[in-house]
Amino acid sequence: MAYEWKFKARPYSDDEAKTLLKGVISPETSDWHYNKHHAGYVAALNTIEKGLATADRSKANGNYSEIGELKRRQTWNHGGALLHDVYWEVLGGDGDPSKGPDVKKAIEREFGSFEKWVEDFKATALSAKLSGWGVLAFDMLYSGRLLNVLVDEHHYGAMWGAVPLIPCDVFEHAYYHKDGAGRATYIDNFMKNLNWERINARYRKYVK
């Protein structure tokens, strides 16, 4: 039996999201982004799982094969599903970092000040391709540091063993309906809507 990937619920209902996230995204985007895009990545993962169960491994090669394409799309959809899980988790707050004292202290220690982290995080997210992410990640398996990571699409640039703490989706579908080409405005509003209590809990869960 193929593994079944689960579509994770947000920490708030769809109706609550329309109010909680209105400063970041439009009500329509909240619905489409979660119930269409995000759900689509999970559905694709399950389709891929079924395909992998029957794919002919003997035909694998470096140009084109069914197994190769399934493996490529698996990482794309896995990254999309996981990053969106965390994206929704960390939104819906008032943007007050004092409510996340542990992670705020770690950010200040790594970047010199909270303001310098914000500057670097915003520059990272602005530098991603039109389909990409800016991610504050905890490099758990290698350096033990907090790093702002630029990820193109859902997986190019991702680091092995790094736990995403704050992923900012900068795919055009995340903000065009509200801010048009104003990616910088969207990122500023994203920062103002962060739920630092949940971010702090996530940090404490993974940082020993």
Task: Give the other-Cβ count within 10 Å of 74's Cβ.
Answer: 17
Task: For residue 54, name the pLDDT band (cuts at 50, 70, 90).
Answer: very high
> What is d(CA 76, CA 133) in angstroms, rounded to the nearest whole number?
13
Nearest CA-CA partner of 154 in 72, 88, 91, 34 = 72
Alpha-carbon dihedral 140, 145, 150, 156, rounded to 10 degrees: -30
Averaged pLDDT score across all residues of the chain: 97
Cβ atoms of residues 103 and 165 within 8 Å: yes
> What is d(CA 169, CA 166) in angstroms, rounded to the nearest whole number?
10
pLDDT given at position 208: 72
73-111 pLDDT tens trace: 999 999 999 999 999 999 999 999 999 999 999 999 999
Burial of 53 (0-12, 13-18, 19+ CB in 10 A): exposed
Residue range 32-36: mean pLDDT, rounded: 98
**Local structure of 73: helix, strand or coil:** helix
Structure tokens at 41: 């990545």
Cβ atoms of residues 178 and 116 within 8 Å: no
2-17 pLDDT tens trace: 899 999 999 999 999 9
> What is d(CA 202, CA 207) in angstroms, rounded to the nearest whole number?
9
pTM tops 0.95, yes or no: yes
Residue range 50-77: mean pLDDT, rounded: 97
Cβ atoms of residues 130 and 152 within 8 Å: no
Residue range 135-152: mean pLDDT, rounded: 98
Q: What percent of the chain has pLDDT over 90?
A: 99
Structure tokens at 154: 């859902």
Residue range 201-207: mean pLDDT, rounded: 96
